[in-house]
Amino acid sequence: MVHVRATADQWVAGLAELSGQAAEQVGGKAANLARMRTTGHAVPDGFCVAAEAYRDALADDPRMRAVVDELDLVTAEEPVRLAGLAERARAVVLDAGLPQRLRADIVASYHRLGDVPVAVRSSATAEDLPHASFAGLQDTYLGVTGADEVVLAVRRCWASLWTERAVSYRVTNGIDHRTVAIAVVVQVMLDATVSGVLFTANPVTGNRAELVVDAAPGLGEAVVSGSVVTDHYLLPADGAAAEQEHGCLDAARLAELRDIGAMLLCRVKPLTRRVRVHGVRLPGCGRSGGWCSA
């Protein structure tokens, strides 16, 4: 099990071992995945590199302390200076030594998954605060294959805590850089036919009587990034027929997915009711969660 002050023996744990762990220990994404797994949702197998591993790797690095001290003096009205310091911070993270025990544990955990393609996902400790949401500010790497590449992707996820957008968001919201850390979730990749995001309240209007699903063919990265026009579904919480708007699908693909869509709505609608309790908080607007149908 992972604890707030993790030892080297506790830096890496399987998702099945994370039940009840707080976001401070494993990040918001990992904590929610663990809760959903324990409540019977289908969650791809994987493991988590605890936030304490990140903290321990950088705790004694004077270069990071110097960057953070300088960031304390930067305001959101100084974007050029902020961007330069964020770049320096990322360079420090990528250059920092990785404890051999941690590397060995990551490699062993990856081998236990079967050396298959995996998604390496950032899970920041400050993703879903009551007054701010960091969701989407850190990086995810899809289709990662090979132990060395997985280790590198973990380090890149760590570095993404210091992207310009993440640093700027913390500065704007008055969040101390020293209070945030990042865990990393590694999960088996699924061959998704269609993926998307569901919201237990309408994210535009805040209407809690409407469940919203945005979907697109393939992996969900394009949906989250906004790089495609999605299929958009409004599902009234009272069980009435869904409203839908088709976006990126051409006629042939739409015909192929029509039956999948009907099945999907049947699956997603009860899921949204459970995600109201176990999903990711949207400040003031219910909860959201990613999904795919393979």
**102-122 tens-digit pLDDT:** 999 999 999 999 999 999 999
- Per-residue pLDDT tens over the stretch 43-79: 889 999 999 999 999 988 999 999 999 999 999 999 9
**32, 280 in Cβ contact below 8 A?**
yes
In this structure, what is the dihedral angle of CA atoms 146, 148, 151, 157, given to the nearest 10 degrees?
-80
Q: In this structure, what DSSP letter does residue 189 have? A: P
Separation between Cα atoms, residue 125 and residue 182, nearest integer Å: 6
Amino acid at 229: V
Q: What is the pLDDT of residue 286?
A: 58
For the entire predicted model, the pTM comes to 0.76
Q: What CATH code is assigned to 8-188? A: 3.30.1490.20
Q: What is the pLDDT of residue 257?
A: 42
Q: What is the pLDDT of residue 134?
A: 55
Q: In this structure, what DSSP letter does residue 73 have? A: T
Residue 227 backbone dihedrals phi, psi, to 5 degrees: -85, -5
**170, 137 in Cβ contact below 8 A?**
no
Separation between Cα atoms, residue 67 and residue 273, nearest integer Å: 44
Q: What is the pLDDT of residue 244?
A: 67
Specify the pairing of strand 210-217 against strand 231-236.
antiparallel
- All residue ranges of the chain with pLDDT < 50 are 1-8, 130-132, 249-251, 253-264, 275-285
Q: What CA–CA distances, in Å, run from 107 to 57, 140, 265, 268?
A: 17, 18, 38, 34
Hey, CA dihedral for 91, 92, 97, 98, is it positive or negative?
negative
CB atoms within 10 A of CB 163: 18
Ordered by start, the domain boundaries in the chain are 8-188, 194-293
Residue 243 backbone dihedrals phi, psi, to 5 degrees: -95, 145
Q: What is the pLDDT of residue 9?
A: 56
Structure tokens at 169: 């968001």
Structure tokens at 233: 């579904």
Q: What is the pLDDT of residue 229?
A: 73
